[in-house]
Chain A
Amino acid sequence: MDYFAQQLINGLVLGSIYGLIAIGYTMVYGIVGMINFAHGDIFMIGGFIALISFLVLVSLGLTAIPLILLIVLLVSMAITALYGWTIERIAYRPLRHSFRLAPMLSAIGMSFVLTNFSQVSQGARVKPVPPIITGGYTLHEGSEGFAVQLSNVQIMVVLATIVVLALFTWLVSRTRLGRDMRACEQDQTMAALLGVDVDRTISMTFVIGAALAAVAGMMYLLYYGLVDFFMGFVAGIKAFTAAVLGGIGSLPGAMLGGLAIGLIETFWSAYFSVEYKDVAAFSILIVVLIFMPTGLLGRPEVEKV
C-alpha cells in the first residue's frame, strides 16, 4: 500500500508536467487543426532557458531562492513564448491554406531545427543541475522500513501547475483574447467577419502554448535535475498521447490525459518493467485511437460532405 501511494504521488507529478505540454498541443489542434510537431522541442528549449538563466542569476550573486525561481520562470516563459511566436510566423503561417500535409512536414522540419540548434549551441552532453529545492516530508512510515516521501519539489511542481492552470482557465474563459480563441476554434471565417483578428489570435495561441511548455520545461529541470537536447521528442509524443487520450481540442481533457499518462507510465515502471514504459505509453495511444477515437472528453468529429 505504501509503495502504491508513493507511485501515485510520483505519477501525479509526472502527469502534471505532461498535462502542461499537452495543453499546447490541444490548443493548437483545436484552432489551426494541425499537430504542432515542434511543441515537444519548445518544451526542451524552455528547460534549457530556465537552466541558463538560473546559472546566470546565481553567478550574478542572487541568493534568495524563491526570487531566483520567480525570475527564472518569467524569463523562460517570455523567451520560450517568443520562440513559439517566431516558429508560427516562419514555418506555419505561410502554409495555413496550403494542402494538408504541408504544415505537418514543416513542423517536423522545425522540430529538427530546434533539436539540432540546441545541440549545436549547447553541446550534446546532458546538463545536470544540483538539487535546487531540497527537503520534504515523510507522510507515512511503513512497517518494512519503506516510507512514503513527499518532497518539496513535488509539492512545488503540483502547486505551480495548479496556479498556471487557474490563470490559463481564466484567460480562456473570461478575457477578450480567450473569447477570440474560442471563436476562431469554431469558425475562423465567421470570426474574421465579426472583427476578430484571426492571425493575431492564432499567434497568441502559439505564444500561450509555448509559455505553458516553458513552465513544464522548468518543472522538469527542477524535478529531474537535468536537461538534454533530445528530451523534447519522447516527451512531446507522450504529451500528444495525453492530448489524444483526453480528447484533442478539449483543454480539461488535455490535463486529465496528462495525469492519466503520467500515472500509467509510473505504475508500469513500478510494477512491470522500466524498459518498456515508453512502449506502454505509445501502445495506449494506439489502443485509445482504436476504441475511443474522440478520447475521454472530446466531441465526436462530424464530417461534412
Chain B
Amino acid sequence: MSATSARPSPAAQPSGSAFILKKALISALVALVLFSLMIGVRTEAGPQGGLIYWTRFGDLAALVATVFGGSIVVELLRQWWGPVDKDSIVPKPVQSAISFAGRWLAPALLVFTFLVPVIFYNQRYILDLSILVLTYVMLGWGLNVVVGLAGLLDLGYVAFYAVGAYSYALLATNFGLSFWVCLPLAGILAAFWGVLLGFPVLRLRGDYLAIVTLAFGEIIRLVIINWQSLTGGPNGVSGIPRPTMFGIPLTPGDDGLAAKLGIEFSPTHRLVFLFYLILAMALLTNWVTIRLRRLPIGRAWEALREDEVACRALGINTTTTKLTAFATGAMFGGLAGAFFATRQGFISPESFTFQESALVLAIVVLGGMGSQLGVALAALAMIGGFELFRGLDQYRMLVFGIAMVLLMIWRPRGLIGHRAPTVFLERNQAISSDLVKEGHG
C-alpha cells in the first residue's frame, strides 16, 4: 500500500466509536422513516374490493436493525482499509498475474466451451443454461459494437432482438421458410431497422440518444402487442419450427438425423445441436467484430467513441460511421433473436421488455465496454448469478438492481476496464518546441 501512503492524505476523517455510532444511528433513523410505511404496513385488495391492511412491525424492526448493524460494519471496514485509492484497489502484482492469466484465459475458456456438451451430456439443465449464457454472450458482443466500440448508448437493443425473433417466427409459420433461409433474412431486417433508428438519432448524443433508443424499443414492443392480426398480440406466436441440420430434422422419425446415422434417438441431440449453433453464431459475431476493428470503419468507430468533434475535423463521415455501427449491432441482435425463436418454439412480447435491454447493457458495461473477453465473462456472471437467485424468485430483480448500483460504484468502468485503442503509435514522436508554440499551433 505504498502507493496510497505517498498520496497527500485527504482531510482527516474523524474516527472512533462515537463517530461510527452516530453515523449508524443516522442511517438507522433514515431507514426507519423510509421503510415505516412501505414495510411497516402491508396493503392488499380485500375480498370485497376495498383495501385492507395489516402491520408488519417485526419486519420493520429487523430491517432497521440490519441497516444499523450494516452501517457499523461498513464504516469499520472503511477505516480498517484506509482511504481508498481508485488505482490501487487491485494491487500491482495481482494485476500482472491477471494479465498473465488473461492471455491464457480466452483460449482455455473457448476449449472448455467446446467441450461442455461432451462433459455435461446427461445434464439437460446445464446444457440449457449454457445455451442461454451463449445467447447473452452473442447479444452482449452485438451490443458491444454499438456501445463499446462506437460509444453510442443504446437502451433499446432488445427491439432488434424482437425484430429478428418475429421475422423468423412469422416467415416460418406463414410461408414455411426454413431456419437457414430465415436466419440471414432476420439479420438483414434487423439491420434495416437499425438504420431506420439510426437516421433520426444521428444528431443526438449521450443521454438523449439513450432515451430515444429506449422509446424506440418500447414502440416496437407496443406495436407487437397491439398489431394482433400479424403478431398475435400478447398471445405471441407458437408452433415455430425447430431448426434442421441443413435439412435433416432432429426428430425420432425415419428421416431424422438419428435414423440416418443409425444411432438411437435422444432429445439431447437437438440441445447439443442448438448449443453448437449458438456457439458458432457467437463466435462469428466475435470474429466479425475483431476483424472490423482492424478495418478503417472499426477505427472510425473507436475514434467516434473518443471524440466526435475531433472525428469530424479529421474528415470522418460521422453519419455513415454511426449508421454502420447501428446496423452491425442490430444485425447481430436480429440473428440472436432468430435463434431465440427457434430454440423456444414460442415467442411473445413479454420476452422483449426493457429489462432485457438493461440486462444486455449491464453485461456490456460490466464487461468493460469494448473488451470481448470481458463481455463473455460478464454474461456468464450475470446469467449464472440470475440462476443462483432463481429460488428467491421475486427478490431476483431486486438483487439485480442492487448489484448493478453497487458494481457501478465499485467499478464504474467494468470488470476489465481498459479502453485501449486497437491502433496506436509505437512511441511518442518528438515534436520540436517551435512547432507547438502558443499561437502557432
Contact = CB atoms under 8 A, between A and B. Distances in A.
A129 B44 CA distance: 11
User: Interface size class for chain A?
Assistant: 35 or more
Interface stretch (A111-119, A161-169, A181-189): A111-119
A112 B408 CA distance: 14
Contacts of A123: 42-44
Contacts of B218: 237, 278, 282
A30 B93 CA distance: 43
Contact of B361 (A105, A282, A285): A105
B408 A105 contact: yes
Interface residues of B, number: 59
B210 to A, nearest CB: 6
Nearest to A233: B354
A135 interface: no
Given A112-B398, A120-B394, A125-B44, A82 B34 contact: yes
Nearest to B407: A109
Contacts of A106: 404-405, 408-409
Interface in A269-296: 275-276, 278-279, 282-283, 285-286, 289-290, 293
B325 interface: no
Given A34-B207, A82-B30, A116 B215 contact: no
Interface stretch (A95-103, A144-152, A197-205, A254-262): A95-103
B282 to A, nearest CB: 24
Interface in A101-144: 101-106, 108-130
Nearest to A277: B222
A51 interface: yes
Given A94-B409, A130-B50, A279-B222, A116 B212 contact: no
Given A99-B412, A279-B223, A283-B219, A52 B404 contact: no
B404 A112 contact: yes
Contacts of A105: 361-362, 365, 404, 408
Given A108-B404, A289-B200, A83 B45 contact: no
B212 A286 contact: yes
B219 A282 contact: yes
A240 B211 contact: yes
Nearest to A112: B401
B38 interface: yes
B39 interface: yes
A79 interface: yes
Contact of A35 (B33, B38, B42, B210): B210
Contacts of A90: 405
Contact of B215 (A115, A122, A285): A285
Interface of B: 30, 33-34, 36-39, 41-45, 49-51, 53, 153, 200-201, 203-204, 206-208, 210-212, 214-216, 218-219, 222-223, 225-226, 309-310, 354-355, 358, 361-362, 365, 369, 394-395, 397-398, 400-405, 408-409, 412-413
6 closest cross-chain pairs (CB), A and B = A109-B404, A112-B401, A113-B401, A102-B412, A282-B215, A116-B398
Given A102-B408, A106-B405, A278-B218, 9 more contacts: A35-B210, A82-B33, A95-B409, A104-B210, A106-B404, A113-B402, A117-B38, A125-B45, A128-B49
